[in-house]
């Protein structure tokens, strides 16, 4: 696989992860404001943190 193609795939994966991250952010806001369910907020926040760490590794 060429270096350019690999770079493009990495960027595509990064964009997907960023979209998921921000969608989870909206879900957390909804859970806080509408559901008032701390357990769900904690679980989703943990997933967000794991995704954030992957994003950080990808861009570093």
- How much is the pLDDT for 26? 92
Rounded Cα distance between 11 and 45, Å, is 24
Dihedral, 15, 17, 23, 28 alpha carbons, nearest 10: -150
Does the pLDDT at position 1 exceed 80? no
CA gap 13, 3 in Å, rounded = 15
4-14 pLDDT per residue, tens: 898 899 999 99
What's the confidence (pLDDT) of residue 22? 94
Task: Say what the pLDDT of residue 23 is.
Answer: 95
Q: What 8-state DSSP symbol labels residue 1?
A: -
Q: Report yes or no: 49 and 28 within 8 Å, Cβ to Cβ.
A: no
Model pLDDT for residues 21-47, shown as the tens digit of each residue: 999 999 999 988 888 878 889 999 999
């Amino acid at each position: 696989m060429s270096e350019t193609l690999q770079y493009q795939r990495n960027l595509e994966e990064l964009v997907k992860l960023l979209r998921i991250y921000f969608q989870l952010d909206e879900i957390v806001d909804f859970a806080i404001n509408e559901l008032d369910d701390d357990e769900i907020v904690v679980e989703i926040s943990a997933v967000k943190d794991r995704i954030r760490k992957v994003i950080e590794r990808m861009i570093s």
